[in-house]
Structure 1
Amino acid sequence: MKINNQRIFEGRNIYSHRKCIRLDVDLEGYCETPTKDIDGFNERLLSYVPELYTHRCGIDIEGGFVQRLKEGTYLAHVCEHTIIGIHNKLGIDIKYGKAREIKDDFYYIIFEYKLKRTAILIAELAIDLINSIIKKKDINFDERIEIIKRVIMEESIGPSTKAICDAAKEVGLPIITVGNENLYQIGYGKAGKRFSATIGNNTKGIAIDIACDKMLTKELLDIQNLPVARGEKVFNTIHLLEVVNRIGYPVVLKPQWGSKGNGVFVNINSEKELLRAYAEITKECKEIMIEEYKVGNDYRVMLVDYKVVAVSLRKPPYITGDGVRNIRDLIEAMNANPLRGEGHEKPLTKVKIDEELINRLSKLGYSLNSVLEYGEKVTLRGNANLSTGGSAEDYTDLICKENIEICERAAKTIGLDICGIDICAKSIAEPLYENDGIILEVNAAPGIRMHHFPTIGKERNVGRKILDNMFKENYSNIPVISVTGTNGKTTTVRLISYVLNLIGFNVGCTTTSGVKIGNKYIHKGDDTGYNSARSVLLNPEVDIAVLESARGGLVRRGLAYDLADVGVITNIREDHLGIDGINDMEDLSFVKSLVGEAVKDNGYSVINADDEWSLKVLDRIKKPKILFSMNENNKYLQENLKLGNPIVFYRDETIYVKNRGKEYKIASAEEMKFTMNGKLKHNIENAMAACAALVGIEVDYCIISKGLKQFKSCEEDNRGRFNMFDVNGVNVILDYGHNIDGYKVVIDSLKNLGLKNITGIIGVPGDRDLNTMKEVGRISGDFFDSIVIKEDKDLRGKDKGEVASIINEGVLSSNRKDLNVKIILSEEEALRETLKLAKKGETIIMFFEDYESLYDIINEFKNKGTKDLKSASI
């Protein structure tokens, strides 16, 4: 078995509403070999991954998968369960997976994941394990498990980040991971707030720099008459001894730039100790501080928005002797506590046996082999940082008002809205000035694990406080409207965006023309996928996101957003069949339904009630719906109305909305210029889809009406969608139709307009199936007076001339002997040659790939007769 390809879905996707990975695998001849026929397979697999005993599988009983193994199941299915089982072995709780045949030995396997790099390594291990069992070879399974454990440590988000993300999920805000450096954004567009650990959206960079400089922090606090330890920066041994003579023993040596208690030497009581510590610390850093050492308890005071929100008493790790075990064994026993883990993975951190710990034991007269008497207590660290094994007790309710004031003044002095202040005092319940207490440090990006998981006392939800500070308790997000379907997506997105722009919103939208923010394109191209949507969602200037969500993006990457306020399905018609595993209309409707499903509980799914395949996904969509139809009496429309939902319909050549017992006239076909007096029926449908989406986000009906009446089928408003130009008496129409239904609606529009002597310049993308290519040729041959067949520049895997030849077969099948057919492969040359021969009153309809080049050619020909070119504003 081997992996041929992998796809990583970072959000909702066509397989699941959870993050998933798809593996395309080759079973290399084992597609029909059940596990019961592979000698020793089941026993060896279960010995490596005993977690499989708990898998229920399709039988839905404990041990169901093992039963399937014994009966004989197939390797793709086994691989799926093995991947999930190894996740479970490593403490990662996932359950979802499935395996499906592509063809013969080729299968795809889907499984949910929590950590991306970890999941890929687990998948590779699962496949290698299966191969090793089949080939009866050894595998370094345990060693690779240990490697994956280290990757889990690196990849897992820290407890502070997790606390803030959990708080965001509780209030229904989406989270985007930005890059791989612990940067996150909560919310989209203008509402988005970015944070890294506990550095919030409002935290000042200069304040972080100040807090990182412990000497500068001390000086600023001292200027404000806040209690700090006496001391200063030292530059050499002589200076060190001069300072200690002034402040006296005991003292502390620490880096000027440091964190988490690293490199700090405390309670130094003699010159010998001092020089030894100085020699040690200068190995790692050059900028060093010396301070007087204060005896007292170690408190951490947490502030958010310059206000005290939590207080902890921190205690260094210690062991208590039992008269039997040595210190090393006692440390190992302490680390075996299930609450202790590596790094920040659990409430407490394991104590590492390092040089600093050994030196401390030596100073106390012990070694790792020393056996402590029963009840004898030894403190293992000179600091109480949780990252070095310390513990914490909640003291939030005990801090006195004087110390609250001191801490809040200190935070404002440094300018840190979110900070952790370290205090040394006999009691936090008494004013620092009265019990010789001091501020040790003001920390940027303070860890909040101790407040969420105190060893003793009440948990404090500091993550929620930080979220409150970022959003000022206004948990609103920008609206997201997502539009999918086979045809009409781009026009619908443009209509929605046009109306929202009238209101004054700065709209971020994605279409086949590019990514547009307000009235400016920030990128031009076919931008209907995951990355384009993310560029809008991460843009801090966007008020509303309107996203065209095309099939390709949904299949390859899934949704870039979590849930939309409105999900629109314009229609589901035949297109893209045979591509990406989408073999029939049922497959296609399954893909498109994702946009309708991924909608907020208080949002709407907009569905075309006249479209057969759109109606077939209704049962998959559990959220409220707004249906639209050309027929007011459509039964699905009326059923939706009875449920209390809005409907949009077309009656007497006018669009109406019914909502909450009232009927509203929106616009007539005559008033909507882009429908050409209702002759472009597909644009009436697009108008209703856009109207329904706008109703879904509660846009005023008068504004909707105004927008639909002002929008035009011109180059400025709806580029490339039935744009008509007068080129010296010749009608030239550019349209992006590229599938069977797209051709049909354009031909119907031409019939409705009563145009004569029409030349069709036709083509189809090279990745469409043979039936589509031939059918486009046939329906073109049945209607157009003459035909020019061209090809796209991007042949999508076909040979030059191959697509044109197939389309020509379809044209010839129309059996029109009088039909003039040419093949000119370049679409630019096809338009040039056709324009050269065209006569006044004739019409050219071009189904294009590249709008820009054709627009330039039209301009060139037009300028032969006039100085300026303007597309008809119709």
Structure 2
Amino acid sequence: MKIIDLRTMRGPSYWSVRHHKLIVLKVDLQDLADTWSNAMPSLAAQLPELLPELEQTPPAENSKTIHKHPPLTREQLADGEPLGHVIQHVALALQRTAGMPVYWGKSHPAHQDGVEFVVFSYQEERAGRAAAEAAVQLVDDLCHGREIQLKPIIDELHEIREEEFFGPSTWSIVSEAASRNIPYIQLKNSSIIQLGYGVNQKRIWATTTSYTSHAGVEVAGNKNRTKAMLKDAGVPVPYGTTVYSEAGLRDAVEDLGFPIVTKPLDGNHGKGATIRIMNWEDAVEGLKAAQVYSRAVIVEQYIQGDDYRLLVVNGKLIAAAKRTPAAVKGDGKRTIQELIDEVNTDPRRGVGHEKVLTSIKADQHTLDILRNQELTLESVLPEGQTLYLKSTANISTGGTATDVTDLVHPYNLLLAERVSGIVGLDICGIDVLTSDIAIPLNETRGAVIEVNAAPGFRMHISPTDGLPRNVAAPVVDMLFPQGSTARIPIFAVTGTNGKTTTTQLLSHIVASKGYKVGHTTTSGIYIQGVQLQSGDCTGGQSAEFVLKDPTVNFAVLETARGGMLRSGLGFHTCDVAVVTNVAADHLGMRDIYTVEEMAAVKGVLPRTVRKNGWAVLNADDDLVYAMREKLECRVALFSMDEHSPRIREHAEQGGLAAVYEEGTLLSTKTAISFGLIGRRSFLLRLAAGLPSISKTPWPQLWLATATGLIKTTLSKHFGLLCHRLPKLRAE
């Protein structure tokens, strides 16, 4: 087998309008052409053993996927499946085995004999491409009796996932935004996520946002400054000092006494922190551990109590969790390593952020804790004895969390909200040590030990015990308050001929109404009339260029066949899609060989129109006119024939239409009769000074597109029209 072509779709495409993240493989089966799985007994015998995920069904929420795309079973392989279908399922199963839950795919023969198209979903692009290559090689090796080494493939995919997938905090915000129909774009070569388009965009970086104060982050990052500010505001904090050497450490120990805590001045996530130090030797080790991250080290009194995290968003306490360090409990039989291995068998534990909990690793920090207790990984713990394997309760090091939001005392709730305001953070994680969060902190002799900018959400959205909290919802509420919008209007134009003229005309009309327009054409990308890039800019990346621009509040995007076939659209939905016509140009390129296939490509665009948007279709073109049958949005038609029966029927049903008659563009919408009763020159009315577009009924603006669409007649007047629009408005 050989991969002829491998493409990555990043938006609605010819292959699927609903599934946006797809790998499209074109595979030459070579000597296995026309071979099905039942002719290769090794497939049914070995594949399910190698990849148990192959036979796994999607979770319950994906019941539709179960029905349409069931898993690939041993019985199906034995009965006979096309090898393209097998490759599809293997690629999906490889990704699922590495912690990426993807299920959708399809396969079918290409135009060439012995060649298959294989299409499947991916979570991370690089992982999807690697899975594609691995799946083809794995099936080929099995069919030819070669040795299979699966572990390196899974390890590589796992590594890619950990490197590139959103962390749980970021993903919770992104998925919450997506559930509200707020689009998102991951900015290239960064972990910054743009929510929304154009002037309405907001950005997040983990749990820092467009509203996060730089001063607040600086204060939280300097633990001494934080402690001083909180102490001045009456917030209980541990007494301590900052040291830079063993001499300073000795003075601090003499002043504070044991037990103490050491931690780097500007550390985070518990890195370099050592708690409950009871003697000088451990204090020196704690100093060295902290100085790995910061020359300045905080030494402070140890506060007895449990570790709690209070999360404040936009000035309100949203969630609270009790955190417990990674630990094992002895049974008098098994070694500490065996107990760790048993804990890690919990299906909720995985590598990094893959699952709700992180697997416990016996790293150097753990070995130091054991050594201080005169233990090793081979030691057997007495029955019932609990051994803490980390000195901090971070979830990322194997700790657990219990939701206690409903137990927080009103005094502690107010305290947390005050701390967030004092430090100046929109999203703030407050670490508290106390014996009971249901009792006021000043009564338990507890203390606020740390304030965190960009706190992790995982302990709240997926606690080990207790009620999960949707802590992302208040973040999105803050970024996009009720009544605000994340989107900007998007007009998208496609077709074989007339795209550029229509795009330019629409952009000019919209700009004349005071909007700041970004538009793309075959000649370049234009932001507010200024060309920023030249060349053919009709693909997904050019569309994203406009939608990422923070000055744009209206997008008009020429959308060509090439971009849709190469990587899909650069947006998921639009307000208006215009299809000028479909002709036999460019056939034979990128596996499109017939006009009907070309129409299917162009038909992707109107299928992305939002439900209350408009698809503007050419009623004179049979293939374009037929596109209306698959649409859920409203449809407007245009025609060069004032007596078009299609226009007549559409208008009689109350539809919106435009026709060209004797040099005049006419709009009509009547359910009584066609007859062109009450004809008006639409362009003159628009140019004469319609109210702002935001107050204009959208259909009036949509029909302006028809001027560009009837290109064969009006294109020669385009320059004159654009020149005269301002003058016509003044008149």
User: TM-score, normalising length from structure 1?
Assistant: 0.74
SS of equivalent to 1:465: helix
The equivalent of 2:91 in structure 1 is 83
Of the candidates 534, 549, 558, which is equivalent to residue 524 of structure 1? 534
Question: What is the alpha-carbon distance in structure 2 between the residues aligned to residue 405 and residue 436 of structure 1?
Answer: 17
Residues 695 and 157 of structure 1: CA distance in aligned 2, closer, same or farther (over 3 Å)? closer
The equivalent of 2:465 in structure 1 is 456
The equivalent of 1:304 in structure 2 is 313
SS of equivalent to 1:397: helix
Question: What is the alpha-carbon distance in structure 1 between the residues aligned to residue 506 and residue 328 of structure 2?
Answer: 67
Residues 59 and 441 of structure 1: CA distance in aligned 2, closer, same or farther (over 3 Å)? closer
- 2:125 paired with 1:125: no
Question: What is the alpha-carbon distance in structure 2 between the residues aligned to residue 525 and residue 32 of structure 1?
Answer: 43
The equivalent of 1:6 in structure 2 is 6
Question: What is the alpha-carbon distance in structure 2 between the residues aligned to residue 457 and residue 326 of structure 1?
Answer: 30
Alignment of 1:40-119 (within 5 A): 40-52=42-54, 69-70=77-78, 73-91=81-99, 92-119=101-128
Of the candidates 655, 667, 671, which is equivalent to residue 681 of structure 2? 667
Question: What is the alpha-carbon distance in structure 2 between the residues aligned to residue 704 and residue 82 of structure 1?
Answer: 46
- 2:491 paired with 1:481: yes
Shift in Å, 1:44: 3.7
Contact 2:85 2:106 (C-alpha < 8 Å) held by counterparts: no
Shift in Å, 1:498: 2.0
Shift in Å, 1:501: 1.6
- 2:669 paired with 1:649: no
Contact 1:80 1:99 (C-alpha < 8 Å) held by counterparts: no
Question: What is the alpha-carbon distance in structure 2 between the residues aligned to residue 872 and residue 546 of structure 1?
Answer: 19
Residues 427 and 644 of structure 1: CA distance in aligned 2, closer, same or farther (over 3 Å)? farther
Of the candidates 601, 604, 621, which is equivalent to residue 594 of structure 1? 604
Contact 2:308 2:433 (C-alpha < 8 Å) held by counterparts: yes
The equivalent of 1:499 in structure 2 is 509
For 2:9, the aligned partner's letter is F
Question: What is the alpha-carbon distance in structure 1 between the residues aligned to residue 279 and residue 320 of structure 2?
Answer: 34
Contact 1:213 1:256 (C-alpha < 8 Å) held by counterparts: yes
For 2:266, the aligned partner's letter is W
The equivalent of 1:447 in structure 2 is 456
The equivalent of 2:627 in structure 1 is 617
For 1:616, the aligned partner's letter is A
In the alignment, structure 1 segments of 5+ residues that lack a partner are 674-690, 712-717, 722-740, 754-854, 856-870
For 1:268, the aligned partner's letter is I
Residues 59 and 292 of structure 1: CA distance in aligned 2, closer, same or farther (over 3 Å)? closer
The equivalent of 1:143 in structure 2 is 152
Residues 605 and 299 of structure 1: CA distance in aligned 2, closer, same or farther (over 3 Å)? same
Shift in Å, 1:440: 1.2
Question: What is the alpha-carbon distance in structure 2 between the residues aligned to residue 873 and residue 654 of structure 1?
Answer: 16
Question: What is the alpha-carbon distance in structure 2 between the residues aligned to residue 32 and residue 696 of structure 1?
Answer: 60
The equivalent of 2:62 in structure 1 is none
For 2:387, the aligned partner's letter is V
Question: Considering only aligned residues, what root-mean-square deviation do their CA atoms show, in Å?
Answer: 3.4
The equivalent of 2:61 in structure 1 is none
Shift in Å, 1:308: 1.6
- 2:217 paired with 1:203: no
Identity of aligned residues (%): 33
Contact 1:653 1:668 (C-alpha < 8 Å) held by counterparts: no
Q: Which has the higher contact order (CA 8 A, sep 6+)?
A: 2
Residues 665 and 366 of structure 1: CA distance in aligned 2, closer, same or farther (over 3 Å)? farther
For 1:193, the aligned partner's letter is K
In the alignment, structure 2 segments of 5+ residues that lack a partner are 59-64, 726-731
Shift in Å, 1:365: 4.5
- 2:595 paired with 1:581: no
Of the candidates 371, 387, 405, which is equivalent to residue 396 of structure 2? 387
SS of equivalent to 1:594: coil
Task: Report Cα offsets for 1:499-555 as digits up to 9, x if no partner.
Answer: 222221111111123211223222233221111111100001111111111111111
Question: What is the alpha-carbon distance in structure 1 between the residues aligned to residue 96 and residue 124 of structure 2?
Answer: 13
For these two proteins, the number of residue pairs brought into alignment is 704
Alignment of 1:712-791 (within 5 A): 745=712
Question: What is the alpha-carbon distance in structure 2 between the residues aligned to residue 43 and residue 587 of structure 1?
Answer: 39
Question: What is the alpha-carbon distance in structure 2 between the residues aligned to residue 456 and residue 53 of structure 1?
Answer: 31
Shift in Å, 1:69: 4.3
Residues 327 and 544 of structure 1: CA distance in aligned 2, closer, same or farther (over 3 Å)? same
Alignment of 1:394-433 (within 5 A): 394-433=403-442
Task: Report Cα offsets for 1:30-70 as digits up to 9, x if no partner.
Answer: 32444444574543444433544569999989787756644
For 2:599, the aligned partner's letter is S
Question: What is the alpha-carbon distance in structure 1 between the residues aligned to residue 193 and residue 436 of structure 2?
Answer: 38
Residues 258 and 697 of structure 1: CA distance in aligned 2, closer, same or farther (over 3 Å)? farther
For 2:681, the aligned partner's letter is A
The equivalent of 1:323 in structure 2 is 332
Shift in Å, 1:387: 1.3
Question: What is the alpha-carbon distance in structure 2 between the residues aligned to residue 58 and residue 356 of structure 1?
Answer: 45
Of the candidates 562, 579, 584, which is equivalent to residue 572 of structure 2? 562
SS of equivalent to 1:314: strand
Residues 593 and 669 of structure 1: CA distance in aligned 2, closer, same or farther (over 3 Å)? same
Question: What is the alpha-carbon distance in structure 2 between the residues aligned to residue 549 and residue 158 of structure 1?
Answer: 33
Residues 517 and 143 of structure 1: CA distance in aligned 2, closer, same or farther (over 3 Å)? closer
Of the candidates 26, 29, 33, which is equivalent to residue 28 of structure 2? 26
User: TM-score, normalising length from structure 2?
Assistant: 0.88
Question: What is the alpha-carbon distance in structure 1 between the residues aligned to residue 261 and residue 230 of structure 2?
Answer: 19
Shift in Å, 1:29: 3.7
Question: What is the alpha-carbon distance in structure 2 between the residues aligned to residue 368 and residue 395 of structure 1?
Answer: 33
SS of equivalent to 2:407: coil
* Greater than 6 Å deviation, 4+ residue runs: 54-65, 660-664, 668-673, 694-697, 871-874
